[in-house]
């Protein structure tokens, strides 16, 4: 075991050169050891865990808390007002299980499958717009025209956001995910909070056939969700569901378009789509780290002693490219035997929305590949711009070209892979 003391100056691996090739940086760290004491861009000291076995084990270790009250290092990460912070990402053990039991009543297979028709309709409408734009201008940005609006449309359906409010709602979310200042971020969060409070009140007065109404009605004996818990969960669904699906669609489509042999195999055998989605989740998932953890007692990870209260980041990106777990890990391989990944969580914090995320990505990619057989990049792959932070690595714009007659291949209402 190595007992570490914090050096005066910590290495900053997320600086120069990281955006251009983050996986090369993770590979270097992984080769040097599993656990590294590093600084985030804001100077916050963290322990970064890079090897798959340690990441997988750490995600289920009950001594590693997600509750910020266990932080002894003055955690500086993104924080929300208390009224929006009472969600599954910030609570442990019994409190988490209590909330999860109640919330799972709104994430039933019936709800997810019931959304398939509206997801397909939204995908078809956005594919129409994408094709029209490329026909008129010769190229279009898949992120702007397709990947960004799709999850917002789905979440609007999930929460039954009235049509008249969806424009403002989408604008606040877009601002929250890409603010130009702290003031703009604060204003967007305040607007969303007020909107969700009003939406919960409306659903209490007039319940409907939507997830929010089901969450309001959910009971476990005499227990039910508080107002703050309801609003926090709706906010979490909005924030995580919109950002993650958007980024996975952008990253996933770029991966497919730059791997022509795998893309041809998928076009020839659309029944491979579920396998493709799992391999994209491993190979191209945008989230680089799981949500931060805080040891509740001193513990050892990868032979390194970590003090209680320090911040620990488990690198999903490094784990998913670990050659000790995945042979030839940098290769995107539809035929890969071991596609098990940690992209949607592991253990207690496995994502409740995982079936909905998988369904959206499958419907979206399957529809684009079926309707647009000549879809191609409209620029060299190395010119595609990325947004890269220590937290995620995502395509910012994805210019594509496609012939207008691609709409002729559409079969309205047909699910992908059929």
**By percentage, how much of the chain surpasses pLDDT 90?**
51
Residue 65 has pLDDT above 50, yes or no: yes
Residue 36 has pLDDT above 90, yes or no: yes
Mean pLDDT of the chain: 86
Q: pTM for the whole thing?
A: 0.88
Is residue 280 exposed (0-12), middle (13-18) or buried (19+ Cβ within 10 Å)?
A: buried
Count of beta carbons in the 10 Å neighbourhood of residue 41? 11
Which tens digits make up the pLDDT trace of 150-199? 998 888 888 888 888 888 888 888 788 777 888 898 898 899 989 988 99
For residues 12 and 28, what is the distance between their CA atoms, to the nearest angstrom? 13
What DSSP state is assigned to residue 269?
Answer: -
In the block, tokens 């910590």 appear at 10
Report yes or no: 169 and 153 within 8 Å, Cβ to Cβ: no
Which tens digits make up the pLDDT trace of 318-367? 999 999 999 999 999 999 999 899 999 998 888 888 888 999 999 999 99
Report yes or no: 103 and 215 within 8 Å, Cβ to Cβ: yes
Identify which of 357, 383, 261 has the alpha carbon closest to the alpha carbon of residue 365.
357
Dihedral over Cα of 144, 150, 151, 154: its sign: positive
Q: Residue 411's pLDDT band (boundaries 50, 70, 90)?
A: very low
Q: Residue 417's pLDDT band (boundaries 50, 70, 90)?
A: very low
Q: Evaluate whether the domain defined by 2-409 bears CATH number 1.10.630.10.
A: yes
Residue 73 has pLDDT above 70, yes or no: no
70-79, 203-212, 303-312: the lowest-pLDDT one? 70-79
For residues 11 and 45, what is the distance between their CA atoms, to the nearest angstrom? 10
**By percentage, how much of the chain surpasses pLDDT 70?**
90
Which residue has better confidence, 239 or 364? 364
* SS3 category, 65: strand
- What are the E-state strand segments in 103-184? 140-141
In the block, tokens 């989230």 appear at 287
Please give the structure tokens belonging to residue 199. Answer: 């939406």
- What are the E-state strand segments in 339-389? 376-377, 386-388
pLDDT at residue 223 in the model: 79
Q: What is the mean pLDDT of residues 394-402?
A: 93
The kind and range of the H/E element at 400 are strand 399-401
Which tens digits make up the pLDDT trace of 94-128? 777 888 887 777 677 777 788 899 899 999 999 99
Report yes or no: 53 and 324 within 8 Å, Cβ to Cβ: yes
- The answer for residues whose C-beta is within 8 angstroms of residue 103's C-beta and 6 or more apart is 88, 215, 218, 225, 233, 352
Strand partners, 393: 388
Q: Residue 407's pLDDT band (boundaries 50, 70, 90)?
A: very low
Q: What are the residue boundaries of the structural domains of the chain, listed by start?
A: 2-409
* SS3 category, 36: strand
């Amino acid at each position: 075991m190595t007992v570490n003391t914090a050096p005066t100056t910590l290495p900053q691996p997320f600086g120069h050169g990281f955006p251009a090739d983050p996986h090369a940086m993770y590979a270097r760290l992984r080769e040097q050891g599993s656990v590294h004491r590093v600084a985030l861009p804001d100077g916050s000291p963290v322990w970064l865990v890079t090897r798959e076995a340690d990441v997988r084990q750490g995600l289920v270790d009950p001594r590693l808390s997600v509750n910020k009250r266990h932080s002894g290092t003055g955690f500086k990460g993104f924080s929300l007002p208390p009224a929006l912070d009472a969600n599954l990402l910030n609570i442990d053990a019994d409190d988490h299980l209590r909330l999860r039991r109640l919330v799972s009543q709104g994430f039933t297979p019936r709800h997810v499958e019931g959304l398939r028709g509206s997801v397909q309709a939204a995908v078809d409408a956005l594919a129409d717009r994408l094709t029209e734009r490329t026909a008129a201008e010769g190229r279009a940005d898949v992120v702007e025209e397709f990947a960004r609006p799709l999850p917002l449309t789905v979440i609007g359906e999930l929460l039954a956001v009235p049509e008249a409010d969806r424009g403002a709602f989408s604008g606040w979310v877009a601002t929250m995910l890409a603010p130009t200042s702290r003031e703009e971020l604060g204003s967007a969060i305040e607007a969303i909070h007020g909107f969700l409070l009003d939406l919960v009140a409306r659903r209490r007065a007039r319940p409907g056939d939507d997830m929010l109404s089901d969450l309001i009605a959910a009971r476990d004996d005499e227990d039910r969700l508080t107002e703050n818990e309801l609003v926090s969960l709706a906010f979490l669904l909005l924030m995580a569901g919109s950002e993650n699906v958007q980024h996975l669609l952008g990253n996933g489509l770029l991966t497919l378009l730059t791997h022509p042999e795998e893309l041809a195999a998928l076009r020839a055998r659309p029944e491979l789509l579920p396998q493709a989605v799992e391999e994209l989740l491993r190979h191209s998932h945008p989230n680089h780290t799981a949500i931060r953890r805080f040891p509740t007692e001193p513990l050892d990870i990868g032979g390194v002693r970590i003090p209680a209260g320090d911040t620990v980041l488990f690198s999903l990106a490094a784990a998913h490219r670990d050659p000790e777990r995945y042979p030839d890990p940098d290769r995107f391989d539809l035929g890969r035997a071991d596609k098990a990944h940690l992209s949607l969580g592991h253990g207690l914090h496995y994502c409740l929305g995982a079936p909905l995320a998988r369904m959206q990505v499958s419907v979206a990619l399957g529809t684009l590949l079926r309707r647009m057989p000549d879809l191609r990049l409209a620029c060299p792959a190395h010119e595609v711009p990325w947004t890269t932070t220590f937290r995620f690595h995502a395509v910012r714009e994805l210019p594509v070209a496609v012939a207008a007659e691609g709409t002729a291949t559409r079969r309205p209402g047909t699910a992908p892979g059929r």
